[in-house]
Structure 1
Amino acid sequence: MRHTTLRTGGTVRVTDLSFGAAGIGNLYTPVDPGQAREAVDAAWEAGIRYFDTAPHYGLGLSERRLGEALRERPRSAYTLSTKVGRILEPVPGTATTVPDDLAHGFAVPATHRRVWDFSADGVRRSVEESLTRLGLDRIDIVYLHDPDDHAEEAFTQAYPALERLRAEGTVGAIGAGMNRTEMLTRFLRDTDTDVVLCAGRFTLLDGSALTELLPEATARGRSVVVGGVFNSGLLADPRPGATYDYTAAPPDLLDRALRMDAVTRRYGVPLRAAALQYPRSHPAVASVLVGTRSAAEVRDAAALAELTLPDDLWAELRAEGLLTENGAPA
C-alpha cells in the first residue's frame, strides 16, 4: 500500500488507506473484543499502517483496544493518531449502575463524562491520559478534535501546547480534525499545522473542501486526511431511509446518490468504491480514513481501494451533472 509523508519535509508517514477506530469503540452497537482485535489484524494484513482513534470514541475504549491490538507490532512500522479537546472525567457508580453512553453515540456504560477543554493544561493532560490508555510513550499525530465552538481557546492555547509537545518529541505531527472547512483552512493558513483531518467535506456529494481547504494545503505543502467519504451511509448504501451526515438524507441528495449508483452499476462498480476512491487523486490528500468494526469490513474497504475504476465512469458522472469541480450538481 502506498505511503505518503505528511507535509513537505515531514517525517510522519501514513498509508493511503487508514483505519478509523470509532467502530471498535462500540459506535452505536457493541463490538466483541475478539471482533475488534480481528478488525485491526485484518487491517494489518491488508497493508494498512495508519490507525486513528480518540478519547471520545467509547469513552476511551477505542484507544485501549487499539493499543492492545498494536502492542506487539513493531512501533516504527505503524502510525497512530488520537485527539485532544475532550477530557474524560469519572462519574460516580460502576459499569452496572450508570446509564449508557448512547446519547453520544457509543454503546458503553457512561462511567465518564466528556468535558470540553482546549486549554494548554487540558491538552497536555489529554495526551498523557491517551498515552496511558494506548500503552505507548509517544503519539505520531494529535488532532484538535472538533474545536468548532472553541476557536479562540483552540488557536491561543491548545495549538501552542501541541507545538510544544511536538518540539519535545512526545508528538510527531499536529493538526485539527473536524467537518468545517473554514476553520481547517485557517489552521493551514495561520499555524504551522502538519495535517488536517477533514470529515465529510470531500465526497461525491459534498466537495466544499475543494473551494479553499485543498488549494491552501497544496500551496503550503501540507497534508489532508479525508474521512466520512460515505457521508455517514448514503454513499455506501443509497436507499430510502439512508442517513446523510447522521440524519435522514434529504430527498434531493438521495435522488442524486441513486443516480450516481445507477451510473457506477453500469460499469460494474459499487458506488461505495467510487466514493472511497474519489478523494485519493487530489495531490494534497495523504490518506482516506474509513471507519470499520470487523475484519469483513476492513477487507471490503481494502478491496474497494484496489478496484480499477474506468475513466469513462468519472466522465459520465460529470456529463450527467452529478459531479462537478466543486462537488455540487451542475
Structure 2
Amino acid sequence: MQRVALGRTDLEVTRLGLGLAPIAGLYSAVSEEQARATIDHAWSRGVRYFDTAPLYGYGHSERRAGRALADRPRAEFTLSTKVGRLLRAAGEDAPARGVTERSEEAPQGAPEAAQEFWSGVEQGIAPVFDFSAAGVASSLAESLDRLNLSHVDIAFIHDPDDHLPQALAEAAPTLERLRAEGRVGAIGVGANSAEVLARCIREADLDCVLLAGRYTLLDQVALDELLPLAQARGVAVIAAGVFNSGILADPRPGVTYNYEPATAEILARAQALREVCARFDVPLRTAAVQFPLRHPAVVSVLVGARSPAEVDDAVDAITAPVPAALWTALADEGFIRE
C-alpha cells in the first residue's frame, strides 16, 4: 500500500483509497457495526486515504467516517470530502446567492431530485445544490461538524457540471481562500466528465481532480485532453468508478454500465476483455483496478466497499501481480490506448 505525493502538495495518498459511499447505505442498509468494521479492516490492510461527501447517505457517511477515524493518528491518514450540496430539510430551499450566468445553469437553491438508492438514512433531508461562496463555506463547516475534525485534507467541488460558471467564479476561489487559511490542505473538483475537469484545471488553481468512470478499460476519453493536461500542470488525478458501475467487476447479462443497463455491444466488449485477461491468469477486476495507475498523472484508485470482505477484494486486486504482457496484449487487440 504505497503512499505517493498528491501532486504538488505536501499530502500523500495510498495507491488504493476507500470510497465511503457504500457504508452510508448505497443500495442497501449497512449497520453501524459493519461500517466501522469496514473502515477498521481497510486500516489494517494499509489503506490511508478515505473519501466521503455530504451527499453520501445525506450526511451518514461523514458521521460514520468521523467516528471510525476518531482514534486514529490524524497525521496518518488523508481524508477528502466535497462541497456543492447542502443538506436541508425537505421542502426548504437554500437561498439563491449571486448566481453567475444563470441562463447556463440548472436552477439554484432548489432541492435535487431524490436519490432513492440510499437506505437507512435520516428521513426528511434533501440535498440542495449551492456553489455560491457562502454555500461552499457553509458546506465545509457542516462537514467538519459531522466529521468532528478541525480540517479536511482535500475538498472537492462535487458534480458542478450544470453549475460550472458559478462553480468556477465562486466555489473555486472560496476553496482557494480556505486552503490559504489552512482549513483544507488541497482543493479539487470531482466529476464524471473528463471535459468538465479539463476546463476546471485550465480556469482554477487546483491541486487534484477526482475522475469517475472515464479512465477505465472500457472508457479512455480522459486520454484526449484531461490526463495530458493534468500531467503537464502537476495536478494529481484520482480515478474512481473503475468498474463502470459493475460491468468490469462481473460482465454478466443484466449488469449495469455507468448506472444503466449495459448494451449488448458493451457487454460483449467487457466479456472479450475478461477472456484476454484469463489468458494471463488475471481476473478482469484486478486489471480494472490496476489499469488507471499506469498513467503517470493518476496517483490513486478509489474503490468503494461496504464490508471487510469487499475491502480484501480491493486490496487483493491492487496488489496482485499483473504481467506486462497482458497490457501489451490489450493494446495490440485494441482494448486500451497507450
Q: TM-score range by the shorter chain?
A: over 0.9
Structure 1 residue matching 2:68: 3-state secondary structure: helix
Cα deviation code 1:142-165 (max 9, x no counterpart) = 000000000111000111110111
Is the 2:248–2:270 contact (alpha carbons within 8 Å) kept by the matching residues of 1? Answer: yes
Partner residue, 1:37: 36
Is the 2:187–2:207 contact (alpha carbons within 8 Å) kept by the matching residues of 1? Answer: yes
* Deviation at residue 295 of structure 1 after TM alignment: 0.5
Is the 1:147–1:178 contact (alpha carbons within 8 Å) kept by the matching residues of 2? Answer: yes
Partner residue, 1:77: 76
Is the 1:28–1:102 contact (alpha carbons within 8 Å) kept by the matching residues of 2? Answer: no
Q: 1:313 aligns with which of 326, 329, 334?
A: 326
Is the 1:226–1:285 contact (alpha carbons within 8 Å) kept by the matching residues of 2? Answer: yes
* Deviation at residue 221 of structure 1 after TM alignment: 1.1
Structure 2 residue matching 1:289: 3-state secondary structure: strand
Partner residue, 1:60: 59
Gaps of 5+ in 1: 93-100, 326-330
Q: Does 1:20 align with 2:33?
A: no
Is the 2:85–2:127 contact (alpha carbons within 8 Å) kept by the matching residues of 1? Answer: yes
Cα deviation code 1:249-307 (max 9, x no counterpart) = 11111000000111111222110000000011211111100011110000110011111
* Deviation at residue 195 of structure 1 after TM alignment: 0.2
Residue type matched to 1:47 in 2? G
* Superposition map of 1:190-209 within 5 A: 190-209=203-222
* Superposition map of 1:1-330 within 5 A: 1-8=1-8, 10-91=9-90, 103-107=115-119, 108-325=121-338
Distance 1:241 1:33 in 2: 31
Gaps of 5+ in 2: 92-112
* Deviation at residue 2 of structure 1 after TM alignment: 1.2
* Deviation at residue 186 of structure 1 after TM alignment: 1.4
Distance of aligned partners of 1:123 and 1:104 in 2 relative to their CA distance in 1, 3 Å threshold: farther
Is the 2:49–2:77 contact (alpha carbons within 8 Å) kept by the matching residues of 1? Answer: yes
The range that moved more, 233-242 or 180-189, is 180-189
* Deviation at residue 104 of structure 1 after TM alignment: 4.0
Distance 1:74 1:160 in 2: 30
Residue type matched to 2:305 in 1? T
Structure 2 residue matching 1:149: 3-state secondary structure: helix
Distance 2:212 2:265 in 1: 21
Distance 1:248 1:127 in 2: 35
Structure 2 residue matching 1:252: 3-state secondary structure: helix
Is the 2:83–2:158 contact (alpha carbons within 8 Å) kept by the matching residues of 1? Answer: yes
Residue type matched to 1:42 in 2? H
TM-score of the superposed pair, with normalisation by structure 1: 0.93
Is the 1:201–1:207 contact (alpha carbons within 8 Å) kept by the matching residues of 2? Answer: yes
TM-score of the superposed pair, with normalisation by structure 2: 0.91
* Deviation at residue 213 of structure 1 after TM alignment: 0.5
* Deviation at residue 312 of structure 1 after TM alignment: 1.6
Cα deviation code 1:204-246 (max 9, x no counterpart) = 0000111100000111111000000000000000011010000
Partner residue, 1:98: none
The ranges of structure 1 where at least 4 consecutive aligned residues each deviate by more than 4 angstroms after the TM superposition are: none
Superposition RMSD in Å? 1.3
Identity %, equivalent residues: 53
Is the 1:119–1:157 contact (alpha carbons within 8 Å) kept by the matching residues of 2? Answer: yes
Residue type matched to 1:119 in 2? S
Structure 2 residue matching 1:313: 3-state secondary structure: helix
* Deviation at residue 105 of structure 1 after TM alignment: 2.2
Distance 2:114 2:317 in 1: 30
Is the 2:155–2:186 contact (alpha carbons within 8 Å) kept by the matching residues of 1? Answer: yes
